[in-house]
Structure 1
């Protein structure tokens, strides 16, 4: 689906890390090798847009293979939440930065969505005091 973003904050610049850049290069190399002409990041073998249902089925197969018996269905949007959770759980990325990457209009929206991660960080911080 190609549409406008829901809010003004949805239009934003997000720098890519080396892992993302390498993944995009692999996709370009794959497309070039198989002579797939497309400007899309994800396309079918003819270069056309992949429908959402097929994309979801692919994610399900990847998750099932990686998780085995622990597999549980996750929607495509859950990848966004996973990124936010992982970024905050490092304890090295400020919540304001995560909020901006996710395109949240207000840092409180991010805070409320990821409060469980913040509570875990508080517990870990206080446990560090035991060492001191």
Structure 2
């Protein structure tokens, strides 16, 4: 129900060039509950059970009452990619990857669209789902059952 971003500061009385803005998302479709797999829930519980012993108002990524800076998250993400030997992609690319893999696994496109907070399935399919040649071959070979 909240969106956080670092934006350019246009207030000349503010000493920094950028500032963090936390506000309502840009559209009503962006306000949503996002389901998590059982595995992810279990992983989160392992960490959050320890954290919530001290306070219920903690941010998951930091373990304290202060949010993680968007630049810090991006920096850590870049480091994790390097450690894993994966070419750099920006964080937003994960949304495209999620959409593509979810569709490949047979998840209903309407579910994928709502999870991503899109207003239409068309947007999800046109902008986020990227079908691989491997998937096209798998799909076209389904026609073999007719011969």
Structure showing the higher strand proportion among its residues: 2
* Cα drift, residue 8 of structure 1: 0.9
Task: Report the structure, 1 or 2, having the larger helix content.
Answer: 1
Say which of 92, 95, 102 aligns to 2:109: 95
Partner of 2:42: 22
Deviation of residue 38 (structure 1)? 4.1
Inter-CA distance 41–115: structure 2 relative to 1 (3 Å threshold): closer
Kindly state the Cα deviation for residue 20 of structure 1 after the two structures are TM-superposed.
2.0
RMSD after superposition: 2.6
Contact 2:96 2:130 in 1 (8 A): no
User: Could you tell me the TM-score, scaled by structure 2's length?
Assistant: 0.70
Counterparts in 2 of 1:45-124, with a 5 A limit?
A: 46-66=64-84, 68=85, 71-90=86-105, 92-114=106-128, 116-117=130-131, 121-124=135-138
**Once the two structures are superposed, what CA deviation does each residue of 1:92-122 show, in whole Å capped at 9, x if it has no partner?**
2121111111111011101102453287645
Summarize deviations over 1:43-99 as a string: whole Å, max 9, x none: 26x541111111111111111111x2xx32222222222211110111x21211111
Residue 13 of structure 1 corresponds to 33
Report how many residues are paired.
126
Q: Matched residues in 2 for 1:55 and 1:15: separation?
A: 22
**Unmatched 5+ stretches in structure 1:** none
Q: Distance in 1 between matches of 2:50 and 2:58?
A: 13
Partners of 1:48 and 1:115 in 2: how far apart? 34
Preserved CA contact (<8 Å) 1:99 1:110: yes
The structure with the larger Rg is 2
Q: Which has the higher contact order (CA 8 A, sep 6+)?
A: 1
TM-score, normalised to structure 1, is 0.77
Unaligned runs of 5+ in 2: 5-21
